[in-house]
Amino acid sequence: MAESGIEISLKDREGDPLQNDLNLAKKHIGELSMEIELLREKSKKQGVFWGGKW
């Protein structure tokens, strides 16, 4: 029973610096992934690459 209380309190912690860093990193990864997708589509339309998987 004490373990479940500990788990709940850990999940409810606000302002955890490690969690904040993780969230920022995930956001940055998402932004970079979107930028890559947009650049791939742009290169497909412009025919920049010869061959390859694009």
Domain ranges of the chain: 3-50
Whether 44 and 54 have beta carbons less than 8 Å apart is answered as yes
Q: Over pLDDT 90: what percentage of the chain?
A: 44
| Mean of all residue pLDDT scores within the chain | 82
List of E strands, the chain = none
pLDDT at 28 over 80: yes
pLDDT at 11 over 70: no
pLDDT at 18 over 70: yes
pLDDT at 3 over 60: yes
